[in-house]
Amino acid sequence: MKFRFAAHSQCKILEPDPESRKPNPMPATILDGTRIAQDIRNEIAAEVKTMAAAGVRPGLAVVLVGHNPASEIYVRGKVKASEEVGIYSEKLTPPESSTTAELLAVIEDLNRRDDIDGILVQLPLPAHVDAKKILMAVDPVKDVDGFHPVNVGFLSTQRPGLVPCTPAGVLEILKRSNIPIVGREAVVVGRSDIVGKPAAMLLLNANATVTVCHSKTHDLPVVCRRADILVAAIGRAGMITRDFVKPGATVIDVGMNTVTNAAEFQRFFSGNPAGSAKREENFRKKGSTLMGDVHPEVADVAGALTPVPGGVGPLTIAMLMFNTVKAAKMRRGTRVPELSRA
Ligand code: NDP
């Protein structure tokens, strides 16, 4: 991207060159997360078959406390995906009224079971439950969400462990799309423990030069425009506009936001024809649309871009399957034949 120095009194301010606001003659390549996730699931299904033939069937336990409708949908998706790749799955549904002590007993039982390789506690937990205590109780070798501090430590010291699924999915998209990472500038917007920080750590471990931004970052568009790889994990619909993006950059949109307001819908999608007609029809039918943190206009500037839906989202479940198989291999290694991955 070209910059020019604007002479504002004594200081020089870096502004985007008006040239960079010209439309990119090549619209962004759409990175198809659904296809990449399917490739990963096919590879996992083949591995599970080999393991099962050797008498080891990876097992995943999903703990769903109470009746949060969104959580019920997520858990259904995870159980279905497990079945499709041949992983044994078990759903435990303690009541909403469960105490921290009762849930700890559930986790301890799963920690002890030899047929369970992965334990996933669906968040959020009811407000009266000490969620940190529950997550800490999961045996790190079965922590397929990768949230336990032991796994966080393994990631930051580049030791083998279990990596949070969504950030791991971000890296899979980049690697399988042959996006260069080594030596590139990566900017991650968002510093949550489950997405932003682990995504930054994975990019650093992959030898990118990484900047992590958050709500207190000054001059966010200027910082973002440094990025060859820009990861948006904010939770604000369409916040990343073209002014945040260096022409040709790869933009990974982790955000999942529901837009229900018709005026807001128009603001984002009118004049952005790619896929808009279908989205508009769905919006009229359902009264809502799922969109990321990246404004659709970014497709005119970026070199490559993940869509929402169909980008990072499908990778999250695929990487959960990957982690369950990895956990089985790590824990029951001597009983598993030599396999290609992890
Ligand atoms: P959090 O709310 O935990 O974190 C959001 C981060 O964005 C924070 O670090 C916050 O900064 C930062 N932020 C908020 N507003 C701004 C701003 N105006 N400028 C710069 N930074 C800002 O969210 P999560 O990390 O859990 O999730 C992020 C998004 O990813 C959400 O849309 C979520 O739905 C989605 N998601 C998608 C998944 C998928 O499978 N595709 C899985 C998980 C999440 P600060 O720390 O200063 O508050």
Question: How would DSSP label each residue in 240-260?
Answer: B-GGG--TT-EEEE---EEE-
78 is known as an active-site residue: yes
For ligand 1, atom 8: residue with the closest CA: 190
Are 188 and 214 contained in the same domain?
A: yes
Are 207 and 303 contained in the same domain?
A: yes
Residue among 117, 122, 142, 300 flagged as catalytic: 122
The whole domain housing 71 covers 57-147
Ranges of the chain with pLDDT below 70: 1-25, 272-275, 334-342
Residue 210 inside a domain? The answer is yes
Are 309 and 171 contained in the same domain?
A: yes
Q: What are phi and psi of 235, to 5 degrees?
A: 90, 30
- Provide the residue type at 189 as one letter: V
Residue 324 inside a domain? The answer is no
Query: Residue 131: how many CB atoms within 10 A of its CB?
Result: 16
* Cα gap 300→321, rounded to integer Å: 34
Query: Residue 267: how many CB atoms within 10 A of its CB?
Result: 14
Closest alpha carbon to 118 in 154, 153, 81: 81
* Cα gap 257→235, rounded to integer Å: 6
pTM of the model: 0.91
Write down the pLDDT at residue 12.
40
Write down the pLDDT at residue 84.
97
For ligand 1, atom 6: residue with the closest CA: 190
Ligand 1 centroid, distance to 214 Cα (angstroms): 9
Sheet with 59-63, strands from edge to edge, namely 88-92, 59-63, 118-121
Write down the pLDDT at residue 8.
39
Residue 107 inside a domain? The answer is yes
Are 107 and 175 contained in the same domain?
A: no
Residue among 117, 143, 145, 253 flagged as catalytic: 145
Helices (H) and strands (E) in the chain, counts: 11, 13
Ligand 1 centroid, distance to 138 Cα (angstroms): 25
Are 118 and 205 contained in the same domain?
A: no
Residue 71 inside a domain? The answer is yes
Give the CATH number of the domain where residue 117 resides.
Answer: 3.40.50.10860
Write down the pLDDT at residue 204.
98
Q: Which 8-state DSSP code applies to residue 54? A: T
| Pocket (CB within 6 angstroms of ligand 1) | 166, 189-192, 194-196, 213-217, 220, 233-236, 254-257, 312-313, 316
Number of structural domains (the chain) is: 2
Residue 94 inside a domain? The answer is yes
Q: Which of 34, 120, 214 to mutate to test the pocket of ligand 1 (most atoms within 8 A of CB)?
A: 214
Ligand 1 centroid, distance to 194 Cα (angstroms): 9
For CA atoms 79, 49, 167, 291, the dihedral sign is: negative
**Contact status, residue 12 vs residue 30, Cβ threshold 8 Å:** no
Identify any residues that bridge with 186 across adjacent strands, giving them in sequence order. 210, 229
Are 140 and 172 contained in the same domain?
A: no
122 is known as an active-site residue: yes
Are 171 and 229 contained in the same domain?
A: yes
Ligand 1 centroid, distance to 223 Cα (angstroms): 17
Write down the pLDDT at residue 271.
73
Give the CATH number of the domain where residue 227 resides.
Answer: 3.40.50.720
Write down the pLDDT at residue 14.
45
Are 170 and 143 contained in the same domain?
A: no
Residue-wise over 146-180: b if at least 16 C-beta within 10 A, else e?
Answer: bbbebbbebbeeeeebbbbbbbbbbbbbbeeeebe
